[in-house]
Structure 1
Amino acid sequence: MRVHIATDHAAFELKNHLVDRLRAAGYDVVDHGAHTYEALDDYPPLIIPCAEAVAGEPGALGIVLGGSGNGEQIAANKVRGIRAALAYKPELAELARQHNDANIVALGGRMQSFDEAYAIVETFLTTPFSGDERHQRRIDQLAAYEARA
């Protein structure tokens, strides 16, 4: 599975940790940066290309990281076709995939340990969308609105 990942300075070390662990687990990881630590970098120029890559590649999933993950989730959700969910424990990542068919998970680099973050990401990447009619109906409603916007 292809996994796109991006962060700003606030989760730079976490991103590098996740890239290494995911590659060791056999994932095809595309690192959209930041590639160097820049204390004053902005997240939109890093997160939006990651989200665009996920939207442009059916079956790919994404991970966006920041201090809290909130701004990164918002930025990713500006990209047509993205359903990004903020998760701070594995259960939220699981529900985001099962019920919302989320294609990006957002995490805060300052919100959990590296091991906890990996557990959230692993849950997100391994949980399939349930396919339940009620969940698909709601996703279709969101997509119809997005197409009009």
Structure 2
Amino acid sequence: MTIGIATDHGGIELKQQLQAYLEKKGFAIKDFGAFEYDAADDFPDFVVPLARAVGAGEVERGIACCGSGVGASIAANKIKNVRACLVNETYSARQGVEHDDMNMICLGGRVIGIALAQELVDNFLGAEYQALPRQVRRMGKVAELE
């Protein structure tokens, strides 16, 4: 599975730690930046290219970080075929994929630590969309909004 990852300055440390963690687990990572700390950078410059790659199927899942995860989530959800959620607990990290076909997880680099982030990402990446009739019906209604 190829995972896309992106951040602005607010999540750079968390992104770097997650990238190393995922590479050690054998995942292929496509890094959309930021590559170094720059307090003047803007999350859309990194998160939107990641979201476009997720929406186009160029990467299978995306992980976006910013200071809180809120801005990354807002920006990512503007892109067609992207279902991004800010997640801070494990149930939603798994259930968001299983029931709602979430394909991007957004994390706050100033809000959570690496241990929780790893647990969230493990749940996110380990889950599969169930595609039950009610879920497909609901996600179809969401897709019509695009």
- 1:67 is aligned to 67
Deviation at 1:133, TM superposition (A): 1.1
Describe how 1:49-128 pairs up with structure 2 within 5 A: 49-57=49-57, 60-128=60-128
Once the two structures are superposed, residues 49-92 of structure 1 have per-residue CA deviations (whole angstroms, 9 ceiling, x without a partner) of 00001111167000010111011001000111100011001111
Letter in 1 for 2:22: L
Specify whether residues 59 and 6 from structure 1 end up closer, same or farther in structure 2 by C-alpha distance, changes over 3 A only.
closer
In the TM superposition, structure 1's runs of 4+ consecutive aligned residues that sit over 2 Å from their partners are none
Describe how 1:122-137 pairs up with structure 2 within 5 A: 122-137=122-137
Give secondary structure in 2 for the equivalent of 1:73. Answer: helix
- 2:139 is aligned to 139
CA distance in 1, matches of 2:110, 2:86: 13
- Unaligned runs of at least 5 residues, structure 2: none
Specify whether residues 82 and 36 from structure 1 end up closer, same or farther in structure 2 by C-alpha distance, changes over 3 A only.
same
- Unaligned runs of at least 5 residues, structure 1: none
Deviation at 1:117, TM superposition (A): 0.4
Instruction: Calculate the aligned-residue CA RMSD, in Å.
Output: 1.0
CA distance in 1, matches of 2:58, 2:97: 15
The TM-score normalised by the length of structure 2 is 0.97
Specify whether residues 21 and 62 from structure 1 end up closer, same or farther in structure 2 by C-alpha distance, changes over 3 A only.
same
Give secondary structure in 2 for the equivalent of 1:47. Answer: helix
Letter in 1 for 2:139: I
CA distance in 1, matches of 2:108, 2:145: 29
- Figure out how many residues of one structure are paired with residues of the other and give that number: 146
The TM-score normalised by the length of structure 1 is 0.95
Deviation at 1:145, TM superposition (A): 2.1
